[in-house]
Amino acid sequence: MLTLEQITKRLADYRPPELNGDLERRAAVAMLLRDNDGDTEILLMKRAEHDKDPWSGDLGFPGGSIEESDPTPRAAAERETWEEVGLQLTEDNYLGQSDSLTGAYLSVHVSCFVYQVANDAEFKLNGEVVELFWIPFKTLLEPQRNQQLTFFYRGRDRKHPVIKLEEWSSRPLWGITYRLIDSFLSLFDLSFTHPERR
What is 4-15+22-141+174-192's CATH superfamily? Nucleoside Triphosphate Pyrophosphohydrolase (3.90.79.10)
Of 127, 132, 137, 147, nearest to 197 (Cα)?
147
pLDDT string in tens for the chain (198-residue length): 899 999 999 999 999 988 766 656 888 999 999 999 999 999 999 987 766 655 567 899 999 999 999 999 999 999 999 999 999 999 999 999 999 987 665 667 899 999 999 999 999 999 889 999 999 999 999 999 999 888 765 566 778 899 999 999 988 999 889 999 999 999 999 999 765 544
Check if the beta carbon of residue 113 is closer than 8 Å to that of residue 97. yes
pLDDT at 107: 63
Of 140, 113, 126, nearest to 42 (Cα)?
140
Q: Is 176 exposed, middle or buried (0-12, 13-18, 19+ CB in 10 A)?
A: buried
In terms of pTM, does the model score above 0.95? no
Check if the beta carbon of residue 63 is closer than 8 Å to that of residue 27. yes
Q: Distance between CA 22 and CA 57 in Å, rounded? A: 28
Check if the beta carbon of residue 17 is closer than 8 Å to that of residue 101. no
Q: Is 127 exposed, middle or buried (0-12, 13-18, 19+ CB in 10 A)?
A: exposed
pLDDT at 70: 95
Of 50, 9, 36, nearest to 119 (Cα)?
36
pLDDT at 55: 56
pLDDT at 197: 47
pLDDT at 134: 97
